[in-house]
Amino acid sequence: MKPSTPRRRGGRSAAPAQAAPAAPAAQPTARPDKAPGTDPVAQAAAVVRAAYDALLDAQGQVAVATAQLDEARAAAPRLSPRLAAAADAVDAARSAQATADASLDAADRVLADRDGAVRVAEAKLEELNTSTQAVGVGQLVAAEERQAKAVRDRAAAAEELSAARRVAQRSEQELTAAQEHLEQVRADPGPGPASVVSADTKLAKLRRAQAAAEGAYADAQQAHRQVAADAAKGNPLAGPRLQHFQSLEEFVSDYVLENWERDNGSTHTDLRWCAKWWEHPEAITRLEHVWEAFEAARREPPPAMSSWWRDHLDHHMARLTDPRGPFEHCDHTTGTHRCLPPWNADPAPDGLFEDTFESETAIERAKVRDIADQRAAHHAAVAEVPVDAAAEHPNTDQTTPIPTEGVGA
């Protein structure tokens, strides 16, 4: 888009001039040999809009189905019968293991007691056998019997301990199996209630449809870009696209201010606006770029215009209407108007920055220097010519011409 040419005020741009002719058409210009209804670019844009509408519809259906699934799950039992049974089995196995562990500990203590009784009986028998005093036969037989009984009791306690260990090992294995089964059931709890299954199946189907709609929208956008590029390459006579607004002033007055609704009167002191915005260079620069982005975005499929509002108009208008912005000393309600002076900058030392790029300003400065050099040379030549020699000048007007080529260009 060619920006408006601003008027000059104190060395800075001030107000917009007329730009390109207005054109109400929002679609790219059709080829001369094609009717508007058969323009491939317009057709591709229509396909993009249809794909975008289909995508929005698919997203809405997925949102509704997700809510329905949540409602079905909330109304269904928290645990399925299969999962509840598996959890109960784990609890029972854990309780059985605790009982087995307690029995194992008790059997271990009994064996320790029986082992101590054997050692006591053996020591008593050894004492009787080695006694220097006379020991009756009855005492010796009784001691031997007690020692034999203690050994038998220890053997029985050892057998009970072995049995308790086997029970504890079996209980531990059963608990491990029950826990593994519970994890399997949790991973695949089964179909669940019919309402949940139905809602889940519907949601999965709609999500697949949404994914297909997203792919179709992306394909339509790519096709639109390709068709537009092909049309631009294959139609050199079509010329530049017409702009919707003829000038920056028309864009600001007829679109921005018509759609930007804010109360910037006396009740709100945090907003500033100037009716003579076109005398503020920053306002001109920002709004020209906003206009340029608008002319590009309006030709793109949705949601290009929504992005333009968010990324361009909202951003720049917030800066312009800020109380510390360019309209800080302006008040449209009272007619107060004062432009802020430009900031100063001292010239940089020669050679600090390299002029590595050709630019329009550099070409303009070189042209001005050439004209100045030509004028200086002319004045020097005139100063050296005698007064009488002026009549012999070969020009028809008998004067030396002053170079004017490029002046004011």
- Tens digits of residue pLDDT in 326-335: 999 998 788 8
| Mean pLDDT over the full length of the chain | 80
Q: Which of 54-63, 133-142, 234-243 has the lowest mean pLDDT?
A: 234-243
Question: Cβ(272)–Cβ(264) under 8 Å?
Answer: yes
Question: What mean pLDDT is predicted for residues 401-408?
Answer: 44
Chain-centre distance for alpha carbon 82: 42
- d(CA 26, CA 300) in angstroms, rounded, equals 10
Helices 194-234 and 40-75 meet at what angle, rounded to 10?
170
DSSP of 118-156: HHHHHHHHHHHHT-SS---HHHHHHHHHHHHHHHHHHHH
Q: Is the pLDDT of residue 296 over 80?
A: yes
- Tell me the two tokens of residue 151: 């050994």
- Tell me the two tokens of residue 116: 């101590």
Residue 234 banded pLDDT, cuts 50, 70, 90: low
DSSP 22: B
* pLDDT given for residue 233 in this prediction: 72
State the amino acid at position 105 in one-letter form.
D
Count of Cβ atoms closer than 10 Å to residue 62 Cβ:
20
- Tell me the two tokens of residue 186: 């949790």
Q: Is the pLDDT of residue 324 over 70?
A: yes
Q: What are the beta bridge partners of residue 22?
A: 243
Q: Is the pLDDT of residue 87 over 60?
A: yes
Angle at 402 between CA 398 and CA 403, to 5 degrees: 135
Q: Is the pLDDT of residue 247 over 90?
A: yes
- Tell me the two tokens of residue 40: 């491939």
* pLDDT given for residue 385 in this prediction: 53
Question: Cβ(21)–Cβ(241) under 8 Å?
Answer: no
CATH number for the domain whose boundaries are 81-187: 1.10.287.620
* pLDDT given for residue 191 in this prediction: 63
Question: What mean pLDDT is predicted for residues 105-113?
Answer: 92
- d(CA 403, CA 405) in angstroms, rounded, equals 6
Question: Cβ(298)–Cβ(305) under 8 Å?
Answer: yes
Q: Is the pLDDT of residue 392 over 60?
A: no
Question: Cβ(13)–Cβ(281) under 8 Å?
Answer: yes
- Tell me the two tokens of residue 140: 């010796």
Count of Cβ atoms closer than 10 Å to residue 259 Cβ:
9
Count of Cβ atoms closer than 10 Å to residue 208 Cβ:
12
Q: Which residues contact 401 (CB under 8 A, 6 or more apart)?
A: 395
- d(CA 222, CA 363) in angstroms, rounded, equals 40
CA distances from 89 to 97, 102, 231, 236 (A): 12, 20, 72, 80
Share of the chain above pLDDT 70, in %: 78
**In the chain, what's the furthest Cα-to-Cα distance?**
178
* pLDDT given for residue 235 in this prediction: 57
Preceding amide of 323 cis, omega within 30: no
- Tell me the two tokens of residue 97: 């293991």
| pTM for this model (two decimals) | 0.38
Question: Cβ(158)–Cβ(111) under 8 Å?
Answer: yes
* pLDDT given for residue 172 in this prediction: 93
Q: Is the pLDDT of residue 185 over 90?
A: no
Q: Is the pLDDT of residue 34 over 50?
A: no
Q: Is the pLDDT of residue 401 over 50?
A: no
Give the H or E element holding residue 75. Answer: helix 40-75
Q: What is the pLDDT of residues 248-280, one digit of tens each?
A: 999 999 999 999 998 876 555 688 899 999 999
Q: Which residues contact 353 (CB under 8 A, 6 or more apart)?
A: none
